[in-house]
Amino acid sequence: MKSISGALACAALSLTAGSALAATPFQNDVTTSINLGIEYLATNNAFTGAAGDATGLATQALLEKRASGNPADPPSGYTGASAVDKGRLRTAAVYMINQTAAQVGNGQLTTYRDGQRLFALAGYALTGGPDKSVLGTSITIKQAMDILTDKIVGNQSAAGYWCYNNGGCTDSSTTQFASAGLEAAKTFYVSPKVGDTPFADPARAASVITALAKTAALYAASTGTGSDNGSCNVLSPTERGHGYHSPVEGYKPSLQQTASGIYIQLFGGSDVNSPGVQHYMEWIKNRYRYQDLDSMGNSWPQNSWSYYLWSSFKGMELIRQSGGIPSPGNVGPNDYGTLPPASAPACVQRQVNKDPAALPRVPLFGAGGVGYYSAETKGQYFDYAHEILGTQQANGGYFANLGVGVGRSPWENFSHQSYMLLVLQRSTGNVQQKCDVNGDGKIDSTDIKAIMASIGVPPVAGDVRDFNSDGVINIIDVRQCTLQCTNAKCVP
């Protein structure tokens, strides 16, 4: 079974831009939707600075773009992107790097912004995005990553939380962005690069791993019960969750923060069968929703809908990609949406999986009667993706709020658009593949030689040189990675 970090590192980048695997009718509509959604971001200058603090999310959405909606098609990253998208990615990278350099003087942490920048710049760099010598930035990617990482690690509270600008509160929304950024930084710092600047930084990798483990332990232990919806309050004795702030402050669990609490624990070394993960998954299973958050989002259920879809899908996709199998009696990702509202424990706001065979085609994408999507499987992805497709506007590609009588609207348009795209793309937040030591988007003799030179070196979590994730870099990893070479005879 792969580790969570291994799952993050396994997104292959072997396809060239424009190639695609065969897709179902629904997957084809997802492809169209993603392309429309990306164009909305580009048309509204999301990659040139207009997205501001949300530039990292928009960049990640572009990095995770696939050749089709078929889940077997990998994210493009930089190397697999079209010429147009490469230009957009370079522009966004320049903006984020130069802004990071300019903010060194005041040293102030902005957790939402800096966490996003960490995972976007890591994904850009690790998939072959050019550095300072091409971009003309004031500092290198490594220097920008160091600034961001040091700010986030240095501002973690003693308990393990992050606040908006420091570690001074128990805010879960900011903590999830810090954690997501650090998880990407962990992969970045174990990945040496041939080029402008080496990325490998064992000391920073160790500090990141320590920070992630502290937060994961906090979330496993700092749990609350109940719900803001009185009709779906305490539903089982073992369910637990997390609210917008710590349960100690009186916050009951919310859908979006309990969801992010799952992948926060995964980043710290937990798996699907860890008790804390199971408690959180049980809480969400008992209140599963995709249409909106009802009243179960603490004080902001309407604004946090798209954010919830992203955070809740990401955690489950990490478990799916890791190969984690729930122990008998435990909750797994495929259990979401299988419990009818009237079944014990009863919750009138709980939703069940949509039936693809009972639905017509989303009108935006063309004619198609009931059963048009019958090739799809019931489950969380179809629930979320179908709901998202139904909100997209024909004119411009924006995923509209459709909030009248539904109870959903965004905090901000660029982040909202990016959340929707990331769900459609089955994003986990990192696109470097196993064996790609130098992060150039391909596996060749350069990588194999680097792995051979590392034999006997203890790997760190998420190390791409440890192919079988057995905690040892040895000749087995060399042989297995040789079989993964992009070109015949492993030629560059």
For residue 184, which of 327, 333, 77, 40 has the smallest C-alpha distance?
A: 77
Q: What is the pLDDT of residue 195?
A: 59
Burial of 18 (0-12, 13-18, 19+ CB in 10 A): exposed
Answer whether 98's CB lies under 8 Å from 138's CB.
Answer: yes
Burial of 2 (0-12, 13-18, 19+ CB in 10 A): middle
Residue 342's pLDDT band (boundaries 50, 70, 90)?
very high
Residue 79's pLDDT band (boundaries 50, 70, 90)?
confident
Q: Which residue has the higher pLDDT, 105 or 367?
A: 367
Q: Which residue has the higher pLDDT, 283 or 104?
A: 283
- Condensed to tens digits (0 to 9), the pLDDT of residues 204-230 reads 999 999 999 999 999 999 889 999 999
- Condensed to tens digits (0 to 9), the pLDDT of residues 397-410 reads 999 866 655 678 88
Asked whether the predicted pLDDT for residue 178 surpasses 60, the reply is: yes
Greatest C-alpha distance within the chain: 64
Q: What is the pLDDT of residue 432?
A: 55
Per the prediction, the chain carries an average pLDDT of: 89
Q: What is the pLDDT of residue 20?
A: 64
Q: What is the pLDDT of residue 15?
A: 29
Q: What is the pLDDT of residue 302?
A: 83
Q: Say how many C-beta atoms besides its own lie within 10 A of residue 71's C-beta.
A: 17
Tokens of residue 270, six digits: 């937990």
3-class DSSP state of 144: helix
Asked whether the predicted pLDDT for residue 492 surpasses 90, the reply is: no
Residue 1's pLDDT band (boundaries 50, 70, 90)?
very low
Query: Residue 157's beta-bridge partner residues?
Result: none
Q: What is the pLDDT of residue 256?
A: 95
In angstroms, what CA-CA distances link 472 with 444, 458, 465?
A: 21, 6, 9
Asked whether the predicted pLDDT for residue 13 surpasses 60, the reply is: no
Q: What is the pLDDT of residue 108?
A: 85
- Condensed to tens digits (0 to 9), the pLDDT of residues 109-123 reads 999 999 999 999 999
Phi first, then psi, for residue 412 (nearest 5°) are -165, 145
CA distance 320 to 399: 26
Answer whether 376's CB lies under 8 Å from 24's CB.
Answer: yes
Spell out the long-range contacts of 84-88 with Cβ–Cβ below 8 A and sequence spacing 24 or more: 85/17, 85/38, 88/42, 88/47, 88/62
At position 400, the amino acid (one-letter code) is: A
Asked whether the predicted pLDDT for residue 23 surpasses 50, the reply is: yes
- Condensed to tens digits (0 to 9), the pLDDT of residues 353-393 reads 999 999 999 999 999 999 999 999 999 999 999 999 999 99
Q: Which residue has the higher pLDDT, 6 or 296?
A: 296
Q: How far is CA 489 from the centre of its chain?
A: 34
Q: Which residues contact 114 (CB under 8 A, 6 or more apart)?
A: 148, 151, 152, 177, 178, 181
Angle (nearest 5°) at CA 210 between 206 and 214: 170
Tokens of residue 274, six digits: 């860890």
Q: What is the pLDDT of residue 17?
A: 40
CA distance 77 to 63: 4
Mean of pLDDT values over 31-57: 97
Residue 95's pLDDT band (boundaries 50, 70, 90)?
very high
At position 446, the amino acid (one-letter code) is: T
At position 7, the amino acid (one-letter code) is: A
Tokens of residue 32, six digits: 């169209």
Answer whether 218's CB lies under 8 Å from 268's CB.
Answer: no
3-class DSSP state of 66: strand
- Which of 291-305, 342-356, 395-409 shows the lowest mean pLDDT across its residues? 395-409
Residue 4's pLDDT band (boundaries 50, 70, 90)?
very low
Q: What is the pLDDT of residue 406?
A: 63
Residue 91's pLDDT band (boundaries 50, 70, 90)?
very high
Q: What is the pLDDT of residue 63?
A: 95
Q: What is the DSSP letter of 293?
A: -
**The CA-based dihedral angle spanning residues 281, 285, 287, 290, taken in that order and rounded to the nearest 10 degrees:** 100
Residue 8's pLDDT band (boundaries 50, 70, 90)?
very low
What are the structural domains, with CATH classification, of the chain? 12-433 (1.50.10.10), 438-492 (1.10.1330)
CA distance 356 to 274: 32
Residue 2's pLDDT band (boundaries 50, 70, 90)?
very low
- Condensed to tens digits (0 to 9), the pLDDT of residues 223-249 reads 899 999 999 999 999 999 999 999 889
**The CA-based dihedral angle spanning residues 262, 409, 357, 324, taken in that order and rounded to the nearest 10 degrees:** -10
DSSP-assigned states of every residue in 160-223: S---SSSS-S--HHHHHHHHHHHHHHHHHHT---SSSS----HHHHHHHHHHHHHHHHHHHHS-
Q: What is the DSSP letter of 50?
A: T
**What is the pTM assigned to this prediction?**
0.87
Asked whether the predicted pLDDT for residue 460 surpasses 70, the reply is: no
